[in-house]
Structure 1
């Protein structure tokens, strides 16, 4: 039996356990920092497997670390389990059909993500016991990836200081290592406070917080012309001050995400956004306050680990689809819009396009890129990658061209092929981690590369030290 076959057997022995855990987290569909049931479920699974579990790490009510073994090297697997608002969807349905109107749903597949990483941790532990390998296996239960950046709090509090290598993955519509950088981000809430008044009888006595909010948005729109091409600014109004137009709104709030490729760049851009908000308050004679609620750095890829992981993915191969799988995948693909399909097809060569024409699921593995790619979005895995060599992959848990953060992702979250793809990721992560455990030169090269990429930069969390994780 080959090394990869052994890992596959270890993981497949507990397939039913992983299926039950994943489906339970899918059912819970809990939002950022409020994943109480999901965190307890996964913590108990770790305890049942013999891991020592520490709950409430880094001040995170739903953050935890499971540890097995002792000494060096220390390998970490990163798990997520938060859902998204407004994406409730019934399982086994290929049309939009919410369980609860405007309810939560796992629109990014984190029910699979957390369990896939758990399977990798369990497999690494069992292999190390069987082959009498020294070292420590850790599973990091990381809340609030979608909003709030739980891993950044963990990194800020030194939770990764003694880790030698970290591994993660993400559901996707293709199979590849995530050899890319990303935007750093600062998340903040802006609050404007004014004075209410009768909007018709005594408008001169009012000071409109809503006017200030709208002026801020106009100012930020003008700012977009004068920022770096890869930078991004998004916002959502969370409190417009009321529903009565004959009342001058005395309070208004909105949340902003400010992104740019480097931490120092995003801090400067954020300062400009704050200045726009100050100007809006000055124009309306209102008071403005800003509170940073999250943030993370840019992702640091690792060529040494990614080449090994890509090779293992190619050797293991994507799991075979059943007739039932193919039918569901085709139905989901049919529900997608033409712009999504056209955009996704542009990323493929002629042979790959032909395969998608036969069955709309990418079952091949893309090779490790020769050069770093770039992701306009952000991930709190970045803060781990600044502290320890980190490798990630994506696997095809979704029909080709499926867009993240949609009901189609939620609908696919409990399908057999989705779980099989999650366990495919687990196999690749476990094999790469165990290769690092048994090959000191690989770890040494990965650490050397991280130091070279940082080029003297020192990690600084973008979440200020006085900001504590919110609780729900």
Structure 2
């Protein structure tokens, strides 16, 4: 066992405890005060210099160690999801008696941030042992879930001098995160009408709720005439009150617009705005359009992907004991067949007709395959600024869907901890390879310039849009 292996063995219980504590806190976007503090305190104990309030965000921070060499960044997240509070280990949807009505870690960010943290201190241990040089950074990144925290951080320039960024995402299989993602824009449409008695004088009223409904109808007709890989979602956040005998004077709808590339999202957003303006005109209402947040489409980096893939293969099969295998099988039995099929389909060549309770291998990586993951991530904005690489690592029963109670319930299992450690080992090994071979960083940077076609990064959030918690 080499020194790095001994380090992982020694520190794993501490990291598992950190992940479990953050799982229990389950704090929402831009309110991850205690979770961020746990990370900062632990990293400071290893000698990392802490910078708070990064990009003027109270729950964003930077932990740095080292003064020379390439800047290697690990991206950490720790935010939870609203409405997914769940009892750990329960095989039916059971809100926790300890925190009823609160959030839950339905996307594994308690594991994500802790594993990236673990990889950062593992790289530090390697540099201390070997004398190699690098500047290690752990970026504490809040509000990935619906808040685009990294995009606001990117707008502030905090990633500009990074040489390479590494991260991962918990899932139910292991492989390179090799798909592009959709760019998105989120905006509020607030309609203002005129209240009146809905029976006595309806002709004097102008219904803001009618305007919201007409906007939604208009956008639904728009769907036939937008790119097939685009997505538009909405939620009515204010329907104008609880009294049907009052013509609603105010109503609000929140829209999330996605498309394959930044400029396509911007173009579709303009069309959605025009629909809103038309709805306002039809109802003689006024509409305020409030830009909320946005993120870019993810740029893959084949150079870094190939390094990461090699380290995933070197890491070997994931091993968990029979009790964890059995537990995963019990959770898998709670899933719908189409949940499992959604994950199985792209892995057919590996599964060969069998569906495991725990995916213990590595999905094949083919750089020639250019797929789209029909979701969005603010990691994408980092990928426009510096070469960025991500892994999927199995931490849950095979087929477990994101943002589900089953994912929350498995967040403290032995399988979750084993996947978290595996991810840390792979990220650390990838970082060691980049420090050892600086020509890989140079090649990755050249590839990024080529993918950007020589154009600079332009943040999709305009400079005058304030942070959400400052509005």
Q: TM-score range by the shorter chain?
A: over 0.9
Structure 2: state its 5+ residue gaps: none
1:5-404 maps to which residues of 2 (within 5 A)? 6-99=3-96, 100=99, 102-349=101-348, 352-356=351-355, 359-371=356-368, 372-404=370-402
Structure 1: state its 5+ residue gaps: none
What are the Cα deviations for residues 43-100 of structure 1, in whole angstroms up to 9, with x where unaligned?
1111111111111110111100000011220000000011111111000111110125
| Structure 1 residue 374 displacement after superposition | 1.4
Q: Does 1:462 align with 2:430?
A: no
Question: How far apart, in 1, do the equivalents of 2:344 and 2:22 lie?
Answer: 32
What are the Cα deviations for residues 347-371 of structure 1, in whole angstroms up to 9, with x where unaligned?
3336614552xx4121110122232
What are the Cα deviations for residues 360-401 of structure 1, in whole angstroms up to 9, with x where unaligned?
121110122232321111110011000100010010111111
Corresponding residue of 1:426: 424
What is the aligned residue count? Answer: 467
Local SS of the residue matching 1:391: strand
Question: How far apart, in 2, do the equivalents of 1:168 and 1:134 lie?
Answer: 21
Question: How far apart, in 2, do the equivalents of 1:228 and 1:293 lie?
Answer: 23
Residues 1:8 and 1:52: Cα distance change in structure 2 (over 3 Å)? same
| Structure 1 residue 246 displacement after superposition | 1.1
Question: How far apart, in 2, do the equivalents of 1:154 and 1:112 lie?
Answer: 22
Local SS of the residue matching 1:235: strand
Residues 1:198 and 1:8: Cα distance change in structure 2 (over 3 Å)? farther
**What TM-score does the superposition give when structure 2 sets the normalisation length?**
0.96
| Structure 1 residue 187 displacement after superposition | 1.2
Question: How far apart, in 2, do the equivalents of 1:238 and 1:266 lie?
Answer: 22
Moved more, 152-161 or 97-106: 97-106
Kindly indicate whether the alpha-carbon contact (under 8 Å) linking 1:86 and 1:101 is maintained by their aligned counterparts in 2.
no
Kindly indicate whether the alpha-carbon contact (under 8 Å) linking 1:59 and 1:468 is maintained by their aligned counterparts in 2.
no
Local SS of the residue matching 1:444: helix
Kindly indicate whether the alpha-carbon contact (under 8 Å) linking 2:148 and 2:293 is maintained by their aligned counterparts in 1.
yes
| Structure 1 residue 319 displacement after superposition | 2.8
**Cα RMSD after superposing both structures:** 1.4
Question: How far apart, in 2, do the equivalents of 1:26 and 1:203 lie?
Answer: 51
**Which of these residues, 437, 451, 463, is aligned with residue 453 of structure 1?**
451
